[in-house]
Amino acid sequence: MVPRGMLPAAQPPEPGPARRPVELWQWRIGLGLGLACVVLLTKLVIGALGAAGGGSYEFMAMQGNQPVTWNHCQAIRYQVNPKGAPDDWEEIVHDAVDDVEEASGFVFADRGTTVKSQLIGRRYQGNEWEPVLILWSDRYQDGSLAGGVIGRGGPAAIEVNGRERYVVGKVSLDSNVKDPLANRMVLEHELGHVLGLDHSSSPGELMYASYHGQDGFGDGDRSGFKRLHDVPCG
């Protein structure tokens, strides 16, 4: 695994304005179970659900025969707003980022904490786009987390040298989820969206549309990440 932050931070050339808004994809709790019991109870059915999985993957967007993704020759910078986060949020974030790096080949660069709750949607600090924003919220502060939704995340793209590239992203996590493993899995799922993966149709994949006790990326997720990483730099 490449050490986090060893690649240079993204510095895209002068593009036009962002052509696609940040697409936030929600992750719901599977099987209609409540937040308090989903982690404990749904693990009992993960074996049966996983057996139904076919290792599938989908992409958020395509350009020709290649998926839209980030420039993997540059580090993807991120910041965390820890307001409302669990006490062990640093460990959760670092472990999740490590897992995503290992599964995808992309490199992330930690740019510390922030008080932002929304993306600015433009560059800052010269030629760099703002870092991916990770934060915790709830259905009272963020209506998109209502109805059993425990995470939302996605990227936004611009055209760089004739190719669509993701340059910003955001992840919102439900602060009512207290289990550390569930928090990490939700964050990894949403970072999968940020990188460019859509929901998988296979229940055994972490990128499946609902959380039912998955404990890591599946073969389909990794195959999708490989195709994202195979898109040439530049």
Torsion sign, CA atoms 64, 168, 184, 38: negative
Element (H, E) at 71: none
- The mean-pLDDT minimum among 1-10, 76-85, 154-163 falls in 1-10
Cα separation, 10 vs 69, whole angstroms: 13
Residue-wise pLDDT tens digits, 186-210 = 999 999 999 999 999 999 999 998 8
Helix (H, G, I), strand (E, B) or coil at 176: coil
Residue-wise pLDDT tens digits, 78-132 = 999 999 999 999 999 999 999 999 999 999 999 999 999 988 766 655 567 899 9
Query: What domains can you pick out in the chain, each with its CATH number?
Result: 25-228 (3.40.390.10)
Answer whether 205's CB lies under 8 Å from 191's CB.
Answer: no
Residue-wise pLDDT tens digits, 18-77 = 333 344 445 544 433 222 222 221 211 222 333 344 579 999 999 999 999 999 999 999
Write down the pTM of the prediction: 0.80
